[in-house]
Structure 1
Amino acid sequence: MGRIKPAVLCGGTGTRLWPLSRKSFPKQFSDIVGGESLFQACTRRLKDAGMDAPLVLTNSDFRFIVTEQLMSVGIDPGAVLIEPAPRNTAPAVLAAALYAMQDDDDALVLVVPSDHVIADAKAFGAAVEAGRVAAEAGQIVTFGITPGYPETGYGYLELENKPDGSGDPIDLRRFVEKPDLATAEDMVKSGTFLWNAGIFLFSAKVIMAAYEAHAPDMLALVKAAIEDAEADLGFLRLAAEPWEKCEDLSVDYAVMEKAGNLSVVPYSSHWSDLGSWKAVLDESDQDENGVALCGPATAIDCKDVLLRSESDGLELVGIGLENIMVVAMPDAVLVADKDRAQDVGRVVKELKTKGVSQAEEFARDHRPWGYFETLALADRFQVKRIVVKPGGRLSLQSHVHRAEHWIVVEGTAQVTIGENVKLVAENQSVYVPLGEKHRLENPGKVPVTMIEVQTGSYLGEDDIVRYEDVYARGQGARG
Structure 2
Amino acid sequence: MTTITPVLLCGGSGTRLWPLSRKSYPKQFVPLMGEETLFQASARRLQGTRQGSGDLNFDRPLVLTNSDFRFIVTEQLSLAAIDPGAVLIEPEGRNTAPAILAAALHLEATSPGAIMLIAPSDQVVPDTAAFHAAIERGLEPVSRGQLVTFGIKRPMARPGYGYLEIASPIADGAPQKLSRFVEKPDTDRATQMFESGKFLWNAGIFMARASDMVAAFRAHAPETFAPVEASLAQGKTDLGFLRLDPEAWSTAPDISIDYAVMEKADNLSVVPFVSEWSDLGGWDAVWRESNPDAQGVVTSQGATAIDCANTLLRSESERMEVVGIGLENIMAIAMNDAVLVADMSRAQDVKKAVEALKAKKAPQATAFPKDHRPWGWFESLVVGGRFQVKRIMVHPGASLSLQSHHHRSEHWIVVEGTARVTVDDEVKLVTENQSVYIPLGAVHRMENPGKVPMVLIEVQTGAYVGEDDIVRYEDVYARS
TM-score, structure 2 as length reference = 0.97
User: Structure 2: which amino acid aligns with 1:150?
Assistant: A
> 2:382 is matched with which residue?
376
Q: Which amino acid aligns with 2:27?
A: K
Is residue 178 of structure 1 aligned with residue 211 of structure 2? Answer: no
SS at match of 1:102: helix
Q: Which amino acid aligns with 2:35?
A: G
Aligned equivalents of 1:304 and 1:117: distance in 2?
21
What are the equivalent positions in structure 2 for 1:353-364 lying under 5 Å apart?
A: 353-364=359-370
2:206 maps to which of 170, 190, 200: 200
Q: How does 1:21-420 map to 2 (within 5 A)?
A: 21-48=21-48, 49=50, 50-165=57-172, 167-420=173-426
Q: Deviations over 1:80-139 (max 9, x none)?
A: 111111111010000110011013443211100000000111110110111111011011
Aligned-partner Cα distance in 1 for 2:221–2:89: 22
Deviations 1:18-38 (A, max 9, x none): 000011111111111132011
Distance 1:463 1:183 in 2: 54
Deviates more, 1:453-462 or 1:176-185: 453-462
Aligned to 1:6: 6
1:73 and 1:424 mapped to 2: Cα distance?
31
Q: State percent identity of aligned pairs.
A: 62
Aligned residue number for residue 466 of structure 1: 472
- Cα distance in 2 for partners of 1:385, 1:6 equals 37
Which residue identity is paired with 1:346?
K
The number of residues matched between the two structures is: 473
| Corresponding letter in the other structure for 1:398 | S
Contact kept? 1:53, 1:78, Cα under 8 Å: yes
**C-alpha displacement of 1:386:** 0.7
1:447 matched to 2:453: yes
Superposition TM-score, scaled by structure 1 size: 0.97
| C-alpha contact 1:295 1:312 (8 A) present in aligned 2 | no
Query: Which AA in structure 1 matches 2:20?
Result: L
| In structure 1, C-alpha distance between the alignment counterparts of 2:401 and 2:6, rounded to whole Å | 34
Aligned equivalents of 1:379, 1:105: Cα separation in 2: 59
CA distance, structure 1, for counterparts of residue 334 and residue 231 of structure 2: 41
Q: Secondary structure at the match of 1:422?
A: strand
Deviations 1:430-468 (A, max 9, x none): 111122111000101222111111111221111111110
Instruction: Give the whole-Å Cα distance in 1 for the aligned partners of 2:370 and 2:205.
Output: 32
Unaligned stretches of 5+ in structure 2?
A: 51-56
User: Could you say which residue in structure 1 is the equivalent of 2:431?
Assistant: 425
Distance between the aligned counterparts of 2:269 and 2:34, measured in 1?
Answer: 32
Which amino acid in the other structure matches residue 46 of structure 2?
L
Tell me the distance in 2 between the aligned counterparts of 1:345 and 1:148. Answer: 28
Amino acid at match of 2:208: F
SS of 1:252's partner is: helix
**Distance in 2 (alpha carbons) for counterparts of 1:217 and 1:194:** 30
| Deviation of the 1:189 alpha carbon | 0.6
CA distance in 2, matches of 1:330, 1:54: 34
Cα-to-partner distance string for 1:369-401 (whole Å, 9 max, x where unaligned): 111100000111100011111111000011112
Cα distance in 1, alignment partners of residues 294 and 130 from structure 2 = 29
State the 1:350 CA deviation: 1.2
1:295 and 1:311 in contact (8 A); partners too: no
For the 8 Å contact 1:303–1:323, the answer to whether it is kept is: yes
How much does 1:313 deviate?
Answer: 1.4
Contact kept? 1:108, 1:136, Cα under 8 Å: no
User: Which one-letter code corresponds to 1:157 in the other structure?
Assistant: L
Could you say which residue in structure 2 is the equivalent of 1:477? none
| Corresponding residue for residue 53 of structure 2 | none
Give the secondary structure class of the aligned counterpart of 2:46: helix
Matched, 1:16 2:29: no
Query: 2 CA distance for matches of 1:245 and 1:437?
Result: 41
Q: How far, CA to CA, are the matches of 1:74 and 1:362 in structure 2? A: 26
**Per the alignment, in what secondary structure is the counterpart of residue 362 of structure 1?**
coil
Structure 1 residues 374-429: Cα deviation after superposition (integer angstroms, max 9, x where no partner):
00001111000111111110000111121111111121111111111111112211
For residue 323 of structure 1, report the CA deviation from its aligned partner.
Answer: 0.4
* RMSD (Å) for aligned C-alpha atoms: 1.1
* Regions of 4+ moved over 3 Å: none
| Inter-partner Cα distance in structure 2 for 1:244 and 1:462 | 26
